[in-house]
Amino acid sequence: MHLSEQELRRRHEREELQKMGINPYPSELFDVTATAKDIKDNYDPEQNNYQEVSLAGRLMSRRVMGKASFAELMDSSGRIQIYVSRDDIAPGENKDLYNTVFKKMLDIGDFIGVKGYVFKTQVGETSVHVTELTLLAKSLKPLPIVKREVDENGVEHVYDAFTDPELRYRQRYVDMVVNPDVRDTFIKRTKLVNTMREYLNERGYLEVETPILQPLYGGAAARPFKTHHNTLDMTLYLRIANELYLKRLIVGGFDGVYEFSKDFRNEGMSRFHNPEFTQVELYVAYKDYYWMMDLVEEMVEKVALALHGTTEVQVGENVINFARPWKRFTMFEAIQHFTGIDISEMDETQLRETATNLGIKLDPNIGKGKIIDEIFGEKCEGQLIQPTFITDYPVEMSPLAKKHRSKEGLVERFEAICNGKEICNSFSELNDPIDQRARFEEQLELGKRGDTEAMVLDEDFLRALEYGMPPTAGLGIGIDRLSMIMTNSQSIQDVLFFPQMKPERQDS
């Protein structure tokens, strides 16, 4: 293992600390009674509060001035200045804790615990006067040094920023230390999920768990990851969706169920796609897709308000307004609006010719539904910035959706598009087992033609439908995509703690 000069020095310091009887990784509990933010927000010099505080965090800077020093401690809430005096932390004859340990053996990134009292410096900065200092964990690797300075106008300037995406995504633990704003993104993501969960719970829907390892993958058009179960000697698949299991629960008597699920699709990666992703799926009996559109509008509006205090969210150069009601287009209306072409009566040959004329390259193995999807994706989706419902899809595109009640050849389905990307998908769910079997068989034929994302036939799901499923509205919302929008993030990797990466290159 190749070690840098700094890494070698820190390992030497670790050994020297042990020789001095100081454990660089002590086991004893360190009782934290306050945070940096708590102190800075609430300290009142007139009340002289916070006379006994205990904080812990990383040492992030240090200015040694002989017998006393100023340093900066960072905990999960932010940073605060600490004042360390030799005579306070090392009273009496033995000054090693200050002269040797603090000045020579502590490094940027080390975890320390401090006890003391709060005061304001002559320049008015809230600080902690340290009376006790404890090393809690020695850092053996140096952090990237990110320098921040505030000019006379109060503008912060950042130097030597840790911005390389390859390093940031691979070493998220470092990214969050030196780029604290990254933590805010993930706090907002959690708040987003919690807001949705509270919304659904308030309406009495049951949160459930369904299998991740499945004998048959279904519920979406995607290629699966597969594995092998040794004891059962059978192939299993990581789920691409949890739809078919949740609909089994509607058959079983629940009126409303939902699941925040990790799903897996063995397909391309991009700034909008990760092979492992999160979505919430909801199924409610006796409802239809019109009702579900109203629910989506209301729930996402609440998310925006919870995260930002307003329905308007800055996303790149655009301000997106999630206030209800959202614009609605049928799929054919959207295509005609953005291309000037009415494709509603075209057969597969005409659709291929239209796509070619529009400059869209098509896989020769895909059918009519996928061609329409390609035209919409290439010519319409990217232009839909404000939240918009696209409704009434061709039946070939939606093997699990109910046929439209009044429009031949279409199904009752919508997608919500925002900032040029789909954020949710919904159906009036197909509950006719005969029709569902015929749709599955059509998918099998597409698979034989070479469509690697065609659905497989699930006999147990068909058996469940034959016992009877009430009219049901279903919904899937991509949590990662919605998080990108709500946190103004440009890449899906920015809203995943640990995105999938290529194998790390090892230097020879």
Q: Residue ranges for the binding site for Mg(2+)?
A: 415, 422
Rounded to whole angstroms, the Cα distance separating 181 from 487 reads 11
Place of tokens 């604290």: 180
Q: Which two tokens stand for residue 7?
A: 């890494």
The dihedral formed by the CA atoms of 478, 483, 486 and 488, expressed in degrees to the nearest 10: -120
Rounded to whole angstroms, the Cα distance separating 32 from 12 reads 29
CB neighbour list of residue 207: distance below 8 Å, 6 or more residues apart:
197, 200, 201, 257, 258, 259, 260
Rounded to whole angstroms, the Cα distance separating 112 from 421 reads 45
Residues of the binding site: 415, 422
Rounded to whole angstroms, the Cα distance separating 371 from 120 reads 68
What is the β-pairing status of strands 156-159 and 147-150? antiparallel
Calculate the CA 425 to chain-centre distance.
18
Contact predicate 421/272, CB 8 Å: yes
CB neighbour list of residue 22: distance below 8 Å, 6 or more residues apart:
101, 135
